[in-house]
Structure 1
């Protein structure tokens, strides 16, 4: 990207960040008013002292009452400035917190809409970094930078007015310093932007590696890969450190030192000017004091703004990353029609020559056609990667298919609203996910079901006995991902969570694969009841669990190669027969070994 395009993009990002302040206009206006009043009180102080020096000290006049009044006025100005500075600080920080709260809510709402394809390609740690770390960096823009720049611009304006009122020549001299200071700012922004971007990217990579390592800690320790993972983390951390150090060098060169150098030369020139003037004209001590004080106060806000440039640059880079996420177009497939959504009544499923690809290049489903009539159980079997789970992904509209048609009760899948589709299709995965909270919370899953309904569903799927044995029953706390429960217990709870919504269609994606034999027997009895009046799509490796299916589809490399009932497929003597015979042989060997 050229430097011109980069600068344009940064300005656009800054505009978008400032656009979040539109809803805070009243609070900001009052904050700016407080800044102006505080700055005015501070700037009046040197003029008051200049008056005391020239009118009283140099003339050896010390009227007690007058000097006390002037002293009280000066102290009052300091108190007023302190009060208004406090108020503006609170107002600016309140504004910042409101803006960041809104931004984080917007980002979280956005990630809820993103398609599963996006999550397939984006590390979770990177998303967490954008919503937390990057927004935290942006918060400083509103909390400290905005108030600093507004305050100091107001302050500088007042300083120039005061300088020109004292001496026009020196006022013009100080005004000529602004282009030089602007040049320093431009160079800093130019050279620091890349290092800030690199630094934020490495911080995101750090979070991604940390998240991945913690989530996979069992595998890391089981294979004794702690050293390798630690080295990978150290490599990323060193790159992050190097980016920080490079940025610190620019800070050390172009921020305070460069401005301090300009300040020293300015003081030297001003004192030289007054020294030269003293040879021919009388120079008032108060004027010298006031001018030196204003010069000092001129560079104080300049230094403050320069010191905030690093925060501005971080906020812009963080804003680019945040807006890249908020502008992401890879959203989940939604109902695009303007017509009212049809209603799923019976739950009949039709796939007609459906083809689908995750990457747009290689089809994982090729001309899939079948019909699951209302109330029927259709089983999908095949080796890993044959396309079984992809059929359920298409039916749930997690991913869009690119050819063919999918219909529910005769209506195209695209016609249904997300609410109608997801509330009438129950999905149970092999790896059941439980949320932090308690047992009842996970069964309800943010619904308004009563405790009586929760208990009824848990009895229905035969999980109530397990729950009643817990110390706190239905209010027993659930750790993250349900790590304190066995896989079978987690799966039973996920069944209860699915059935509480009474779906018309039930998708079981290897739902019994992680459950022991005793639990599976209880669950199979519950499934017999659950399937009544519902269309069931069962994906299974263990063929013993789907023998009663009305239709079994055998997939191989995305193609249906066999279809029929259990008996029909065994009589066919094809792929299903070989898979079933192999599993039966393995089971017989296990039984012989156990005997």
Structure 2
């Protein structure tokens, strides 16, 4: 299946019946307390149903014949009040149980969704916006919570109550109760019509809400660029357009609610009342009408349509929840997970030797970004990757870290194919430092300890000293306990990079991967980092991407990439003597005007 088809499947609505059945399966771990809640629900419903029966007995057996025996009336009154108070108490307990179970279910569902997102491959995040994913974990699960909390329990309670009402109606008058049964098909038709039309509107609303979240997330992350280029108005118009589309979808659903929910049910209830009164009116010509039965029927009709109204009004919440659940389950079922171990056994990375054998790779399955890449990096060696933007340097790093599937050729670690290693072993033995380091909200110590919570304070301090980060850490107001803002916003770019170095060194990896790791460090700090890197590389295999050639002149081997291929290889001196692409790049960075003019007029430019 193509990536485009996978993407469309993620947004395609699922069968509503299947979605509902799947939501119900989440109740299985709570079956014991659900059973207790259902028993209480039956008792509470019975208490509510018996109330009008007692009133009917009072009217027909005591009030109409004017029999006022104190003791029977006392028992009737006490029974009526007792049923009312019992109903209130039981309803409270069962509603509490239902909602407690609902919250536990939604808590588990959110954990499932978050865990799924954590295990998706990076190829997935390349295609889908972050805001949309956040919307599914937060907005969509919150909507599903409303289903469990305020819809299902309400539907079960009112459904049982409606059954009880019909039982009581049949007890009072079978013929009239049969007439009233015709109300049910009408209500079911209304509900089905509402579900059919509303599902389209709610699906559109959910999608527009995801787009709103994506636009907000993107704007906040790029706020510096937006303000520098004064694009606030353009972004506002884009946001306003999506917001208007979301509002239009809401208005469509509101119009539908206004037509098919309460007004339609009220009309049916009036027709039912007319039917009951007409029945008793016609019957009164031939036989006397029992006032108590008339009261009870009208009371039951009122009690019948009130829960129906509640159910209809919650139908919109139900429909929104089904649409949201469809989106969440599509995400849970998405099969684009991160590459994992293939085969049995638990091989270990001991030396850290890396070998690429005729490796080719394409992100989209059509255009190869790497073509027949082959090289070997032995323990203690440093392999540098250089080349212009888009030449394939980062792709080599991504494949070495096993971020993407679909690799052609072989990647070996200590002579063992990379797919045979567990993710845990790979992540323990590989340390990655990115050009743009990502720090998490917390303290300095938390970020250095991020890879392993088993690190001691002494090991954390040692890692910081190793990369010359301790000097600036000590100058922070709270030292290692200093708070770090989102993405490390409270630190300079150089300080963030130093912390990412310390975080990697604390892991003590066998293979060190550097993606232009000194790009955001000032010249003075870079000198200290280079000294630290020399110590870090001792006994380790190092793969380094570099744009500044001065930082990798001492590499054991330099691979020059161009359009996904290795076009030159050798150490710094060898490549300079060749006078090829590396030599031209070196001259450009040296800044000799005459040499630069010659280079820029060549084919290479």
Verify same fold: TM over 0.5: yes
Among 247, 250, 255, the alignment partner of 1:249 is 255
| Mapped pair 1:408 → 2:413 | yes
Asked whether the 8 Å contact 1:356–1:400 carries over to 2, the reply is no
3-state SS in 1 of match to 2:304: helix
Structure 1 equivalent of residue 9 of structure 2: none
User: Does the C-alpha gap of structure 1 residues 385 and 586 become closer, same or farther in structure 2, counting only changes over 3 Å?
Assistant: farther
Q: In the alignment, which of 147, 160, 164 is matched to residue 153 of structure 2?
A: 147
1:62, CA displacement in angstroms?
2.0
May I ask how many residue pairs the two structures share in their alignment? 583
Aligned to 1:355: 360
Partner of 1:419, secondary structure, is helix
Higher alpha-carbon deviation: 40-49 or 144-153:
144-153
CA contact 2:370–2:564 (8 Å) conserved in 1: yes
Deviation at 1:279, TM superposition (A): 1.4
Q: Partner residue of 1:535?
A: 541
CA contact (8 A) 2:13 2:326 kept: no
Q: Residue 547 of structure 2: SS of its match in structure 1?
A: coil
Distance (Å, rounded) in 2 between the aligned partners of 1:340 and 1:269: 76
- Give the drift of 1:320: 0.7
| 3-state SS, counterpart of residue 527 of structure 2 | helix
Instruction: Determine whether 1:24 maps to 2:21.
Output: no
Contact 1:378 1:553 in 2 (8 A): yes
CA distance in 1 between counterparts of 2:336 and 2:508 reads 31
Superimposed CA distance per residue, residues 138-187 of structure 1 (whole angstroms, 9 cap, x where no aligned partner): 01111111111111121111111110111111110111211111111111
Aligned with 1:369: secondary structure? strand
Runs of 4+ residues over 3 Å off in structure 1:
586-589
Match status 1:374 vs 2:379: yes
How far off its partner does 1:586 sit? 6.6
Q: Distance in 1 between matches of 2:189 and 2:406?
A: 55
**Does the 8 Å contact 1:443/1:500 carry over to 2?**
yes
Q: How does 1:227-246 map to 2 (within 5 A)?
A: 227-246=233-252
Q: Note the C-alpha offset of 1:123.
A: 0.3
- What does the per-residue CA deviation read over 1:467-502, in whole Å, with 9 as the maximum and x for residues that have no partner? 111110100011110001011000000001001111
1:55-96 C-alpha deviation (Å, 9 max, x unpaired): 111122222333232212111111100001100111111111
- Partner residue of 2:485 out of 468, 476, 479: 479
TM-score, normalisation: structure 2 = 0.95
Distance apart, 1:341 and its partner CA: 2.1
Give the counterpart of 1:203 among 204, 209, 227.
Answer: 209
User: Using the alignment, how far apart are the partners of 1:64 and 1:229 within structure 2?
Assistant: 78
Q: Which of 451, 460, 473 is the matching residue for 2:466?
A: 460
1:448 to 451, 454, 468: 454
* Structure 1 counterpart SS, 2:507: coil
Within 2, Cα distance between the matches of 1:166 and 1:495? 82
Q: 1:306, CA displacement in angstroms? A: 1.0
Distance in 2 (CA, whole Å) between partners of 1:233 and 1:127 is: 18
Q: Conserved in 2, the CA contact under 8 Å of 1:116 and 1:398?
A: yes
User: What runs of 5+ residues in structure 1 fail to find an aligned partner?
Assistant: 1-5, 590-595
Q: Which moved more, 1:58-67 or 1:210-219?
A: 58-67
Cα offsets for 1:274-296 (capped at 9, x unmatched): 11111110101101000100111
CA RMSD between the two structures: 1.4
Contact 2:359 2:409 in 1 (8 A): yes
CA positional deviation for 1:8? 7.9
In the other structure, the counterpart of 2:422 is: 417
Q: Distance in 2 between matches of 1:129 and 1:146?
A: 23
Matched, 1:545 2:551: yes
Give the conservation status (yes or no) of the 8 Å contact 1:31–1:92: yes
Conserved 8 A contact 1:355-1:401? no
**Structure-2 separation of matches of 1:275 and 1:230:** 65
Distance of aligned partners of 1:522 and 1:230 in 2 relative to their CA distance in 1, 3 Å threshold = same
Whether the 8 Å CA contact 2:120–2:337 is kept in 1: the answer is yes
Q: Is the 8 A contact 2:14 2:326 kept in 1?
A: no
> Secondary structure of 1:330's partner?
coil
Inter-partner Cα distance in structure 1 for 2:329 and 2:248: 26
Where does residue 433 of structure 2 map in the other structure?
Answer: 428
2:599 aligns with: none
Q: Which residue of 1 aligns with 2:390?
A: 385
Name the CA shift for 1:328/1:7 in 2 (closer, same or farther; >3 Å): closer
Spell out the pairing of 1:159-198 with structure 2 (5 A cutoff).
Answer: 159-198=165-204
Q: In the aligned structure 2, how far is the partner of 1:471 from the partner of 1:586?
A: 45
CA deviations over 1:345-368 (Å, ceiling 9, x no partner): 111111111000111111000000
